[in-house]
Amino acid sequence: MTTSINYEDKIPNNVDLSSDRRLQRALEGWQPKFMNWWGEMGPALETHGVYLRTAVSVGRDGWAHFDHVNVPDYRWGIFLAEPKPDRRIAFGEHKGQPVWQQVPGEYRADLQRLIVIQGDTEPASVEQQKLLGLTAPSLYDLRNLFQVNVEEGRHLWAMVYLLHAYFGREGREEAEALLVRNSGSPDSPRILGAFNEETADWLAFYMFTYFTDRDGKYQLGTLKESAFDPLSRTCEFMLKEEAHHMFVGTTGVDRVVARSAQLIREHDTLDIGKHGGIPLDIIQKYINFHYTVSLDLFGSETSTNAANYFTAGLKGRWMEERRKDDHQLTEHGVPLDRPNADGTWTTEELSALLALNLDLRGEYISDCQSGIKRWNKILADADLEYRFALPHVGFNRNVGMHAGFHITPDGSIVDEATWQKGSKNWLPTNEDLAFVRSLMHPVYERGKIASWVAPPTNGINGKPFDYEYVYFH
């Protein structure tokens, strides 16, 4: 395995693709299908060059090169993090054994399933964001959207490489199917719920990149622990790119909150809609929605799938190697609050092995709290009393033990009528969505920005905010 990336190849890669002609031909056969999919399902806006970063190495420093690129000419490639010499399995029943360079027969189906689910999310998000280029609030934001999109495309390549290289014919068929399913399609939707939701406006985009990309961070973090070394190394490098996507979300919401706070101060009212801002209660409803559909991505609180993946060494815990236990989860119990039909909660104790989805979700929730904290600080610094909060973990859930219950943001189990009455205060209504959409107009003049969002504090790669991030001719 070489670590430098060869851009002379049709498919840039650091996996020495040219030494395996069959694999290279198979991937070169998939490439035009990917390009067709990109043309049909990728960004709707045509441009003449976007200031994008492209990976040029996988090392610690200087891994990315920035330049204006015609988006369809972006060099999607296959990049794995450098191998760790003598890497050992860190958990499960094979703990201490050398990691696998090939897929063990008994784990083939499970590994393929995990890779397909991961792969399915990547093109789905590009599809969800297809129309956003028509209404970006600034050239800086437009550039960030395209950066996220091309890298999600590259993450699809990352999973397709694994399917082609290690899963034979079935893997190749799954790689084709990844381009056939489409976000929101009634006939062949994407696999996970959140990836069939619309990302119809830029507040939704910032929320998606904050909350849903953050699920990506945690899921990739657990796959990075995998005993299947090519998957581990793939995810390690994907996480590097993923950091920017979450930055777009974090700072995007920061900037909306900052602008709303400014308008509230300026006009001395929370009702800033008529002044071109997004009211804080609508922002809270967006938080409620995007956070809870993202919680669904962690699966059920008790999961034999997750237990089996862990025991087999396929999927570890977040920061597995930093955990101070036996890495086999034979001992500890985990408390879980379960809702009851009579409106009460019962605390029960679960075995840690069955509660792995819950464990990962817990890590995710505390990370999400840090966003709430920073957005509340923006409000406090503007001397406003309003505060954002994450809703109760059972609110608006469709997967796991809360599904089928009506649970309010403060954690009360309520009946259908109470839910119907309250939900317009908790989740974006059609009017809220239409209002936010009404603010979305493209602002494509250098240095200009839409009314509803503050400019960023810094530009990209040391460039100023008023840099020409996107060329239109």
Binding site for ligand BYC (CB under 6 A): 114, 117-118, 121-122, 125, 152, 192-193, 212-213, 215-216, 219, 296-300, 303, 305-306, 315, 357, 399
On the CB side of 423, CA atoms within 13 Å amount to 15
**Phi/psi class of residue 2: alpha, beta or left (left: φ > 0; alpha: ψ in -120 to 50)?**
beta
**Which of 31, 300 has the CB closer to ligand BYC?**
300
> Which residues pair with residue 347 across a beta bridge?
337
CA-to-CA distance for 378 and 384, rounded, in angstroms? 9
Is the CB of 193 or the CB of 362 nearer to ligand BYC? 193
Beta-carbon contacts of 250 under 8 Å, excluding residues fewer than 6 positions away, are 210, 371, 374
Measure the CA angle with vertex 370, ends 127 and 271; round to 5°.
75
Spatial separation of the C-alpha atoms in residues 224 and 233, rounded to whole Å: 7
Q: Tokens 């390690």, residue?
A: 236
> Which of residues 256 and 399 has its CB atom nearest to ligand BYC in the complex?
399
| Cβ-based nearer residue to ligand BYC, 99 or 297 | 297
Give the up-direction half-sphere exposure of residue 447: CA atoms within 13 A in the CB hemisphere: 2
**Least Å from the CB of residue 306 to ligand BYC:** 4
Nearest residue (CB) to ligand BYC, 49 versus 193: 193
| Cβ-proximal residue to ligand BYC, closest one | 299
Judged by DSSP in three states, 67 sits in: strand
CB of 305 to ligand BYC, least distance (A): 3
CA atoms within 13 A on the CB side of 241: 32
CB of 128 to ligand BYC, least distance (A): 8
For residue 101, give both structure tokens.
Answer: 């360079």
- The partner residues of 333 in beta bridges, in order of sequence, read 351
Question: Which one, 197 or 296, has the nearer CB to ligand BYC?
Answer: 296
| Closest to ligand BYC by CB, 299 or 362 | 299
Q: How far is the CB of 219 from ligand BYC (least distance, A)?
A: 4
d(CA 386, CA 379): 7
**Nearer to ligand BYC (CB atom), residue 65 or residue 113:** 113
Residue 69 C-beta-side C-alpha neighbours within 13 Å: 17
Look up residue 304 and give its two tokens: 């034999």
CB of 150 to ligand BYC, least distance (A): 13
Task: State which residue, 117 or 443, has the beta carbon closest to ligand BYC.
Answer: 117
Minimal distance, residue 207 CB to ligand BYC, in Å: 12
Rg of the chain on CA atoms, in Å = 23
Closest CA to 298 of 183, 154, 402: 402
DSSP state of 227: S
Pick 110 or 466: Cβ nearer ligand BYC: 110
DSSP 8-state assignment for residue 99? P
Closest approach of ligand BYC to the CB of residue 195, in Å: 8
**Residue whose CB is less far from ligand BYC, 17 or 227:** 227
Is 317 in a helix, a strand, or coil? Answer: coil
Q: How far is the CB of 215 from ligand BYC (least distance, A)?
A: 5
Distance in Å, CB of 136 to ligand BYC, minimum:
18
Amino acid at 394: G
Q: How far is the CB of 332 from ligand BYC (least distance, A)?
A: 19
Q: How far is the CB of 418 from ligand BYC (least distance, A)?
A: 26
Report the candidate in 294, 272, 468, 251 with the shortest Cα–Cα distance to residue 391: 294
Tokens (6 digits) for 300? 């059920």
Mark out the alpha helices in 65-138 (DSSP H runs). 108-128
